[in-house]
Amino acid sequence: MCGIMGYVGGDRASGIILNGLTKQEYRGYDSAGIALCCKEGIKSAKIVGRVSGLVKLVENMPQECLEARSGIGHTRWATHGGVTVTNAHPHESADKMVTLVHNGIIENSKEIKADLKAKGIDFTTETDTEAACQLLAYLYDGDALAAMTGLVRSLTGAFALVIMFRDRPDEIWCARKGSPLVTANSGGASYCASDPTALLEFTHDLFFLDEEEMAELKPEGCRFFGFDGARKEKESIFLNWDSIMADKGHYEHFMRKEIEEQPDVLRLTIDTHTVLTSVSMERTLDLPDGLMRRVGHVQFVACGTSHYATLVAQNIMESLDDEVDVRAEVASEYRYRNVRGGDDTLAVFVSQSGETADTLAAARLARSKGTHCIAITNVRGSTIDREVKHTLLSMAGPEIGVAATKTFTGQISLLALLVMQLLKDRGSLSASDEARIIGGMRMLPAHVHSILEREGEIRSLAEKYSASKGFFFIGRRECVPLTMEAALKLKEIAYLPSEAYAAGEMKHGPIAMLDENLTVFAFVPDNDLREKTLSNVEECRARNAPIILLATEGDSKAKDHANDVLYIPRTERELFPFAGVAALQLFAYHVARTLKRDIDMPRNLAKSVTVE
Ligand code: AGP
């Protein structure tokens, strides 16, 4: 989604803003712009394309703009109006008094535009944002707070707005409803950004704007207000991330770096929440006493990769206790269905970013029904962290690549432990299962490490199959979520058609598509379902589809059924996805690399989806 960076202080604003935009490029965008508070008023530069192009434009701005001490910048992911320089942000009001950038969607922009046009105000862009810009200028009579209050009350939809007034060169104004915005003050300067990683080089003490909150940023500090204009006191949140963690280092792509960080994520998660072979999360979770004895229904709710992580959790939970009704739901559907809720239901909302609009809406719905809620997120201070009382933080560190990798691993390891903690509280987790799974989890960092060591083999396989017209990923039971995640990775970063199917479903339709141009990638761990899955593989082979198997080390007979076999270490049955996912991420990565795709910033995608 769009990215925002704002600065007001004693240094050159242009460099700080461009640097902040670069750090947020991974969010996904198609145009970029900056506005600087120069002596002769506010001057803008905008471009269709990358921030690197914007840097060149800014270099050619007048010296007085390069010396500016305040400014705002934006990377736009088009929603209303085409990808053009005119539609790129910042937008300026007709009277040049207001310049603003916006993330989100203003739903009543047509009505506002019609109203202002009737008052004689001309519009120059196709964007919804310009409605907010012109309206604010119309409302402004020298009192910024009053105008801001009038503006936010008139807008419907979702917005993070960052604003400069021509006659207030030492101030930036912000407003948030539905789209994230974080501010900070440090060393005589104030900052704002969409994403905290853009601010970490200045300070780790951050002020995350709450829903329906505004801020006034000045070099000496930030002040906060409700949408009614009343002052609000606000505590900063310390974000324990290192700015180096958000750095690509010597890696060609963030995604490749983040794949490699997975053994550390596993180790940290397991060490934090277990003692020897026991799960130990009670204190971190702090749920009401006896809750899990009362709850008969558990819902896991998320989007995209986070949803696939919850399917892994669902599988583990039902394999350990068949009396709990456990469902993994897609948040964008959950929020509009008449789902069960109330005191006998526990819902776990999972969002790497903590800002996904559908997941947030689903959590709000569940809370309104009196459902017990837990959130899992990777971002301390994110909206879901602040809105849901019981939050577990995954410990993946900042993830910059648009394709989720290490955060998936962080989520599934945390979810596996959460499932065991909940079943332990319920009295339905046997000590032997607990010790078996935790013992198995402790082996995972080494297993994933050994897969990373086989990257050469995976790369060769990826190069060999990169000309394939498409892929079917098939597997059974615990492998089904992994088929979905593998197919999503390939779609996202290689743009190749890829389907995920429960292996037994192939002959109910999809097998009709198979021929020598479609590759079937089947997951056949050495377990009770191996033979059944191999029968499905043979059915695909008989239709001339090239076959790759993901099999358990030592299963030498697997190669009798396939063109190629990728072996992964033997794990506890439930943990096959934990070990296998690194191999599939590397496969997708190298297919995409062979096809010369933009791996960290795939077309049309955004890292955090803050609109519906
Ligand atoms: C994963 O590779 C994708 N970028 C996407 O599916 C993502 O998992 C989804 O948008 C959910 O994001 P969240 O975890 O931040 O809520």
pLDDT of 244 reads 67
Tens of pLDDT, residue by residue over 34-83, are 999 998 899 999 999 999 999 999 999 999 899 999 999 999 988 888 88
Tokens representing residue 461 in the block:
């396989």
Question: DSSP alpha helices (H): ranges in 274-345?
Answer: 282-285, 291-294, 304-320, 331-334
In short, whether 1's Cβ falls inside 6 Å of ligand 1 is no
Domain 254-442 has CATH 3.40.50.10490: yes
Tens of pLDDT, residue by residue over 47-59, are 999 999 999 999 9
Tokens representing residue 143 in the block:
């009192």
For the question of residue 2 being annotated catalytic, the response is: yes
**pLDDT at 362 > cutoff 90:** yes
Rounded CA separation 238/317 (Å): 34
Confidence at 605, pLDDT banded by 50, 70, 90: confident
> Hey, is 364 helix, strand or coil?
helix
pLDDT of 162 reads 98
Identical fold, 3-243 and 452-598: no
In short, whether 305's Cβ falls inside 6 Å of ligand 1 is yes
Q: How much is the average pLDDT of 17-25?
A: 93
CA 408 to ligand 1 centroid distance, Å: 9
Catalytic residue among 23, 406, 424, 607: 607
Tens of pLDDT, residue by residue over 306-358, are 999 999 999 999 999 999 999 999 999 999 999 999 999 999 999 999 999 99
In short, whether 403's Cβ falls inside 6 Å of ligand 1 is yes
In short, whether 602's Cβ falls inside 6 Å of ligand 1 is no
pLDDT of 39 reads 86
Domain spans of the chain? 3-243, 254-442, 452-598
In short, whether 608's Cβ falls inside 6 Å of ligand 1 is yes
Closest to 400 measured CA to CA, from 147, 185, 187, 600: 600
pLDDT of 28 reads 76
Tens of pLDDT, residue by residue over 390-412, are 999 999 999 999 999 999 999 99
Q: How much is the average pLDDT of 257-270?
A: 96
> Over the chain, what is the mean pLDDT?
94
In short, whether 314's Cβ falls inside 6 Å of ligand 1 is no
Domain 452-598 has CATH 3.30.70.1450: no
CA distances (Å), origin 488, targets 261, 403, 446, 485: 20, 9, 25, 5
**Amino acid letter, residue 133:** C
Query: Percentage of the chain surpassing pLDDT 90?
Result: 89
**pLDDT at 437 > cutoff 90:** yes
pLDDT of 46 reads 96
Nearest C-alpha to atom 16 of ligand 1 is from which residue?
351
Tens of pLDDT, residue by residue over 142-195, are 999 999 999 999 999 989 999 999 999 999 999 999 889 999 999 999 999 999
Atom from ligand 1 closest to the CA of residue 331: 16
In short, whether 360's Cβ falls inside 6 Å of ligand 1 is no
Catalytic residue among 2, 192, 373, 479: 2
CA 424 to ligand 1 centroid distance, Å: 30
Tokens representing residue 4 in the block:
């925002």
Q: Which fold has domain 3-243?
A: Glutamine Phosphoribosylpyrophosphate, subunit 1, domain 1 (3.60.20)
Atom from ligand 1 closest to the CA of residue 302: 16
CA 31 to ligand 1 centroid distance, Å: 22
Nearest C-alpha to atom 9 of ligand 1 is from which residue?
304
In short, whether 401's Cβ falls inside 6 Å of ligand 1 is no
DSSP string, 79-121: SSS-S-TTTSSPEE-TTSSEEEEEEEEETTHHHHHHHHHHTT-
For the question of residue 174 being annotated catalytic, the response is: no
Atom from ligand 1 closest to the CA of residue 402: 4
Rounded CA separation 541/531 (Å): 15
pLDDT of 78 reads 82
CA 422 to ligand 1 centroid distance, Å: 25
CA 374 to ligand 1 centroid distance, Å: 18
**pLDDT at 245 > cutoff 80:** no
Tens of pLDDT, residue by residue over 84-93, are 999 999 999 9
Q: How much is the average pLDDT of 1-26?
A: 93
CA 130 to ligand 1 centroid distance, Å: 29
Atom from ligand 1 closest to the CA of residue 489: 2
